[in-house]
Structure 1
């Protein structure tokens, strides 16, 4: 199970860094509505730039802490809990704008990985 949890942490880290640094101004099939960039996606949700940068910062910090938690396990719980909450928020935003279920799948996947990390941290797995 240890290797699965490590893989989950790495997957979350790489994915969040990819979205927020490399795909920030690029269109993807997962963006809300017809948004072609992160800014347009947050506008579709009715959220401003300040919220976008706060959410992005929290995701990047949480993902980085998840990666570091491979070597410093005490960081896993707060990082995974914050990531899980952010992913719940992302799913909620997709529902708010009536997106197709498909657009919520990445957030659902990262929510499940975060919950797996939390469960492992508490000895459930």
Structure 2
């Protein structure tokens, strides 16, 4: 495992842990944005839980690589879903940048995990 993979995995874990906890706590800036995209409160809770689990999976994946790979795949798929919600809602690129950055970041960590597999 390279130091780059460890650092980027830890940063990805922190990003998704923060995003997931915000959704689970129903933090106002988060819920307002998601409701504007057509995401129901139940789906927000599900996404928040999956983001927290994905974050933990990426962290644990530093020791159990198959779990890290699966968690990163899950996070990539979730961000693809997020982008689909942004596109369907005709959201601006400015409002969609977070999902795009997290998609790229998740994809990078996934590729690093696969290269060292």
State the TM-score, normalizing by the size of structure 2.
0.82
Instruction: Name which of 104, 107, 111 aligns with 1:115.
Output: 107
1:82 aligns with 2:74: yes
- Computed over aligned residues only, the root mean square deviation of the Cα atoms, in angstroms, reads 2.3
Task: Give a deviation string over 1:62-87, Cα, whole Å, max 9, x none.
Answer: 01110111122121111000000111
Number of residue equivalences: 115
Matched, 1:94 2:91: no
Structure 1 stretches of at least 4 aligned residues deviating more than 6 Å after TM superposition: none
Unaligned runs of 5+ in 1: 27-36
Indicate the structure with greater helix content. Answer: 2
CA 1:20/1:119 → structure 2, altered by over 3 Å: closer, same or farther?
Answer: closer
Q: Which moved more, 1:50-59 or 1:69-78?
A: 69-78
**1:20 maps to which residue?**
20
Unaligned stretches of 5+ residues in structure 2 = none
